[in-house]
């Protein structure tokens, strides 16, 4: 959560000076539909998504997108316990 806030707040002042800018944050569908064994991950992705949507309302000249891909097989998803 900290990197997305820090970097957004750091670059937004320079982006405001431009006529048009964009920020793309990577979230996850898991942030909208929590899944077992991934509570912390789901919560952090929900934060990323809502943070992106909130700052998008504040800055009309900056396109802010929160990309939420669906399920992707990774080493994290292959190592579920339970």
Tell which residue, 9, 44, 7, has the closest CA to residue 27.
44
* Catalytic residue from among 37, 41, 59, 71: 41
Give the integer Cα–Cα distance in Å for 36 and 64. Answer: 29
41 is known as an active-site residue = yes
Tell which residue, 36, 40, 29, has the closest CA to residue 71.
29
By annotation, the residues acting in catalysis are 41
């Amino acid at each position: 959560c900290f990197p997305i806030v820090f970097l957004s707040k750091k670059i937004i002042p320079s982006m405001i000076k431009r006529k048009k800018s964009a920020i793309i944050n990577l979230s996850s569908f898991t942030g909208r539909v929590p899944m077992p064994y991934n509570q912390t991950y789901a919560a952090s992705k929900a934060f990323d998504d809502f943070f992106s949507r909130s700052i998008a309302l504040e800055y009309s000249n900056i396109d802010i997108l929160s990309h939420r891909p669906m399920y992707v097989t990774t080493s994290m998803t292959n190592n579920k316990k339970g």
